[in-house]
Structure 1
Amino acid sequence: MRERRRSPDRTGDDPVSPDTPPGGPEVPPGEDPEAKVRNLVLRMLTHSPRTRAQLERSLYRREYEEELVTRVLDRIEEAGLIDDAAFAKGWVSSRHHSRHLSRRALSQELRTRGIEEETVREAVAEVSDEDETEAARALARKRLAGSRGKDDETRIRRALGALARKGYPAGLSYRIVREELEVEGEDTDLAPDTDLL
C-alpha cells in the first residue's frame, strides 16, 4: 500500500473551487463515489499534469477515504494517465531550459511534488554537466548584461546571487562569472574565496 503523504501543498496543484466542501459536494442518491472521485481526478489532470502525490494530497484534503483514493488512482495510473517518470522528465526539460535551473534545484522541485528519489535521479540525469554549465552561463550573461554601468562588485554580487538562487554551486558560479566578465573585456580579480554570495 502506498504511503499517505500529508506534506504541505504549496504547488498550486488544486484547480477545483475552494468553495467545494470537504469530501466534495454531496453525492446525489445513486451516484457512485468512485465515479465522483475519478471525474474529479480527470478534471485536475485536464487542467495540468500532476504527480500521483499531488493528486493524493488534493483528495485527502477533501477528506476522501484512503482506500477509495488508492483504488481510483491505481486504476487511472494503470490506464497511463498518471506517470510520475514522464512528469519528472518533462518537468526537468522544461524548467532547465526555460528557467535555467540547476540539477540541484530541479531535484528539490520534483521532491516537493512527491516524486520518488530514484525517479528524481533518473530525470535529473538527463541534464549533463555541459547542459548545466551552459544554462548557468546563459543566466550569468543575462544578469551581467542587465547591470552594465554599475561597479564590478555590484555586478559580480548580483550575478552570483542569481546563480545561487537557481541552485548552482559556488565554484561553478565564480568560474562562469569571471569568464563572462573576461569576455566583456572587464578586468576583475574575482577569486574563488571571494565573500560575495
Structure 2
Amino acid sequence: MTLFPLPSTSDPAEADESTKRGEQARALCLRLLTARARTRAELEAALAKRGYPDDIAAAVLDRLTQVGLVDDEDFAEQWVRSRRLNAGKGKRALAAELRKKGVDNEVIDGALAGIDAGAERTRAEQLVRDKLRREKLGDPDDRDAENKVARRLVGMLARRGYNQTMAFDVVTAELANERERRKV
C-alpha cells in the first residue's frame, strides 16, 4: 500500500511570498542592527512602517531574540552606561529615553538600579566643574551675575535629568569652590 501526501490546502505561491517577506524583514532588521543596537519596539516600528504584517514581524523578532541579537535588557544597560559617561545624563532623563525607545519599566528599573545617589551627585559635580571652568564669573559682590550663572548651571543639570534640589546644592557648592580657586 502506497501512501500519498495529502494535498496542501494553502497556495504554494502564497507560502513562497510569505517566506520571501520574512527574509526581507529579517534582512531589514539585521541591517538596522548593524548600525547600532536596537530595542524590540524600535524594530517592530521599523517593520510596521515598511508594511510588514504583524505575524511576520513577530516571527522574525522572536528568532532574533532567540539568537541573542535583540535583547532589551542588554540594550538598556549599554544605553545607561553610554549616556551617563558621554552625555552626563541623570536617572530621570535616562528612564525617559529608554521609555521612548519602548523598553519595559521593569527593565528600566533594573538598568538604573546600579546608579546610586552618590554616583549621580559626583557626576553632577563633575559636569558643573567642567562648565564652570569655561564660565566667566563676574565680581563676587555682584549677586545678579552669580544668580545668572547659577540658574544656567541648574538648568543644565535639570535638562540632563538631575533632581532640582541636588542640582541647586551642587551648583552652590561648586560656585563657592570655583570662586575660591580663582582667588589663588
Q: Shorter-chain TM-score: which interval?
A: 0.7 to 0.9
Distance in structure 1 (CA, Å) of the matches to 2:98 and 2:167 = 23
- Give the Å deviation of 1:132: 0.5
2:6 alignment counterpart: none
- Determine whether 1:65 maps to 2:53: yes
- Determine whether 1:180 maps to 2:174: yes
Alignment of 1:31-70 (within 5 A): 32-70=20-58
Paired letter, 1:90: Q
Please tell me the root mean square deviation across aligned C-alpha atoms, in Å: 1.7
Unpaired runs of 5+ in structure 2?
1-15, 139-144
SS in structure 2 at match of 1:121: helix
SS in structure 1 at match of 2:98: helix
Residues paired across the two proteins, number: 159
Structure 1 112/30 Cα, relative in aligned 2: closer, same or farther at 3 Å? Answer: closer
TM-score, normalization: structure 1? 0.76
Paired letter, 2:165: G
CA contact (8 A) 1:102 1:166 kept: yes
Unpaired runs of 5+ in structure 1?
1-27, 187-197
- Determine whether 1:145 maps to 2:138: no
- Give the Å deviation of 1:35: 1.1
TM-score, normalization: structure 2? 0.81
1:5 alignment counterpart: none
1:111 alignment counterpart: 99
**Structure 2 residue aligned with 1:134, among 122, 125, 145?**
122
Paired letter, 1:184: E
Between the aligned residues of both structures, percent identity stands at 36
Alignment of 1:57-96 (within 5 A): 57-96=45-84
CA contact (8 A) 1:143 1:162 kept: no
Distance in structure 2 (CA, Å) of the matches to 1:37 and 1:110 = 24
Distance in structure 2 (CA, Å) of the matches to 1:111 and 1:91 = 12
**Structure 1 residue aligned with 2:89, among 101, 108, 123?**
101
Paired letter, 2:75: F
* Over 3 Å off, 4+ runs: 28-31
Moved more, 39-48 or 138-147: 138-147
More helix by share: 2
**Structure 2 residue aligned with 1:159, among 153, 164, 167?**
153
Instruction: Specify the structure having the higher radius of gyration (Cα).
Output: 2
Moved more, 75-84 or 151-160: 151-160
